[in-house]
Amino acid sequence: MANNPIVVVHGWSDTSASFERLARELAVRTGRSINHIWLGDYVSLDDDVTLADLAQGLQQGWLAAGLPRVPARADVVVHSTGGLVIRQWMHTYYARLGTAPPVRNLVMLAPANFGSPLAHKGRALVGRAFKGFKSGFETGTQILKALEMASPYSWSLAHKDRFDANVFGVGGVRCTVIVGNSGYQGIQGLVNHNGSDGTVYVATASLECARITMHVQRSSGPRALQTMDKIVISKPEVSRGKTAFLVLNNYDHSSITAQSGRVDGLLDSLVHALQVTRQRFPGWIRTCDEKTAQVTNRYSTKRDASKHAFQNTVFRVVDDHGSPIEDYALEFYGQFTDGKDRWAREFHHKVLGKVHAYSDNKAFRSLMIDVTELERIEKRVRTPLCFSLSAVPDVKLDSAVVGYKTMGENDIDKVTLPHDQLQNYFAPNRTMLIDVVVPRYQKDKLARFKRAPSDHS
């Protein structure tokens, strides 16, 4: 183990200088050599650079440095966008080709695995408040699009490397995600969100995810527009393999790299994650889970919502032609005989956090679900939770000749989540990917056959 190098890859809008102290501490504590790959300190801010470009740059830098090319011979530390870069790299150059990557233990410090709420903020606000952005606020447009909440990029990458060609687990890449749970201080606090470290949500840092498919079944026959469409929903499929996930109290997105004076708990955890063996990895996962539960207020009576545990719930809504449906609404409610819908009031006011529609394709939408609050409410409101979807144009109510039938009470069925199964659909510190397919209807007047006149000549 002592001969295996530690490779440090910096994140987006960052420089190699951010890791100088961390690298020195790791070298002292492990007695191992530290290799830096920084892909050019400012290259990742170029508007034309994509994550695929950065993955290729990582491959070129890896080979140029003479780093190991055989499986499990190097340990890696990444920060922020470096998490997406190394995932893209491992999938493109190894997993997709059926080859194990040369990474054994991987530590992601505050990675933006499923996006950042800062990626779509205005230039003036973020440029003023967040020190990670350079003068002139060079955004790196293509990187920001991938980093935006509910981005098609993070959706696609997760399907590739967490479900289809997973490399993570006891027998593969042993990955530990470490993230803080405190936002920035002072003026930088303008960009803080509950459940975040100031830059990434705790839930979107996690690699753990699940996916569901929801197919709205098309009605057929002459009365199709008057018949209710039924919904078929799959059981949640959890991502393959396992990763360790650790939340450290009172660290933000910058201090998690040991740039500040505080290193208590951080370096010990980081060194342990870099040296954990195959046999001890399951125990390390349990240890991280226990420590994380203690700092996310899941079992506490405290009401500090900034430290609650969230689930990033991402919807993609398309029609049965595969075209995006960008104008839709989601409503959560319950079934009560007394006329008082406690689920609707509690869910929309206390459980549902930030909602963000992806700017270039609003068919993708992220809903931050406060699982800590949901678990508290579920103990009082012991009835099924329902939700429904409405989309426009409505083929029955609007003047459009094509569209969807979702607005009427008997147009589309609702989804009912039994009380005792809510934990399968809403879990702390993960992302749930929900793929919804809605049939697109056409009115009869869209196309008509006209009988040719009779030839009496």
CATH of the domain at 191: 3.40.50.1820
- Of 262, 295, 328, the domain-final residue: 295
CB atoms within 10 A of CB 384: 17
Q: Is the pLDDT of residue 160 over 70?
A: yes
Q: Please name the residues in contact with 272: beta carbons below 8 A apart, sequence gap of 6 or more.
A: 284
Same domain membership, residue 178 and residue 287: yes
Q: What is the DSSP letter of 162?
A: I
Query: What domain range includes position 340?
Result: 309-443
Q: How far is CA 249 from CA 144, 172, 296, 308, 429, in A?
A: 27, 29, 9, 12, 15
Buried b (16+ CB within 10 A) or exposed e, 128-166: ebbebbeeeebbbebbbbbbbbbbbbbbebbbbbbbebb
Q: Measured at the alpha carbon of residue 288, what is the angle toward residues 287 and 294, in degrees to the nearest 5?
A: 95
Confirm whether 437 is domain-assigned: yes
Strands (E), 253-322: 310-319
Asked if 184 and 156 touch (Cβ cutoff 8 Å), the reply is: no
Question: Which pLDDT value is given to residue 229?
Answer: 87
pLDDT band of residue 325 (cuts 50, 70, 90) is very high
Same domain membership, residue 50 and residue 179: yes
Confirm whether 214 is domain-assigned: no
Same domain membership, residue 132 and residue 270: yes
Confirm whether 283 is domain-assigned: yes
Q: How far is CA 141 from CA 13, 114, 117, 400, in A?
A: 12, 17, 15, 36
Indicate the pairing of strand 385-391 with strand 415-417.
Answer: antiparallel
Across residues 9-17, what is the average pLDDT? Answer: 58
Same domain membership, residue 179 and residue 48: yes
pLDDT band of residue 128 (cuts 50, 70, 90) is very low
- CATH number of the domain to which 318 belongs: 2.60.40
Same domain membership, residue 101 and residue 186: yes
Query: How many distinct structural domains can be found in the chain?
Result: 2
Question: Which pLDDT value is given to residue 445?
Answer: 61
DSSP labels, 434-446: EEEEE--EE-GGG
Confirm whether 83 is domain-assigned: yes
Confirm whether 385 is domain-assigned: yes
Same domain membership, residue 403 and residue 291: no
Q: Which of 28-37, 97-106, 174-183, 442-451 is the least confident region?
A: 442-451
Same domain membership, residue 88 and residue 187: yes
Same domain membership, residue 333 and residue 262: no
- Locate 48 and state its tokens: 């034309």
Convert the pLDDT of each residue in 251-307 to its tens digit: 888 888 876 666 767 999 999 999 999 999 999 999 999 999 888 765 555 567 778
Asked if 303 and 424 touch (Cβ cutoff 8 Å), the reply is: no
- Of 226, 260, 295, the domain-final residue: 295
Across residues 166-182, what is the average pLDDT? Answer: 93
DSSP labels, 212-267: EEEEEPPP-STTGGGSPBPEEEPPPEEPSS--EEEEETT--TTGGGT-SS--TTHH
Same domain membership, residue 399 and residue 277: no
Residue type, 252: D
Same domain membership, residue 249 and residue 313: no
Confirm whether 231 is domain-assigned: no
**Separation of CA 350 from chain center:** 21
Convert the pLDDT of each residue in 377-395 to its tens digit: 988 888 899 999 999 998 8
- Of 271, 295, 319, the domain-final residue: 295
Q: Which of 26, 78, 28, 27 is nearest to 266 (CA)?
A: 26
Confirm whether 199 is domain-assigned: yes
Confirm whether 410 is domain-assigned: yes
pTM: 0.90
- The residue ranking higher by pLDDT, 52 or 223, is 52
Q: Is the pLDDT of residue 168 over 70?
A: yes
Same domain membership, residue 283 and residue 317: no
| 3-state secondary structure at position 23 | helix
Torsion of CA 148, 152, 156, 161, to 10 degrees: 0
Asked if 344 and 385 touch (Cβ cutoff 8 Å), the reply is: no
Convert the pLDDT of each residue in 180-203 to its tens digit: 988 665 545 556 678 888 889 999
Question: Which pLDDT value is given to residue 15?
Answer: 54
Same domain membership, residue 76 and residue 37: yes
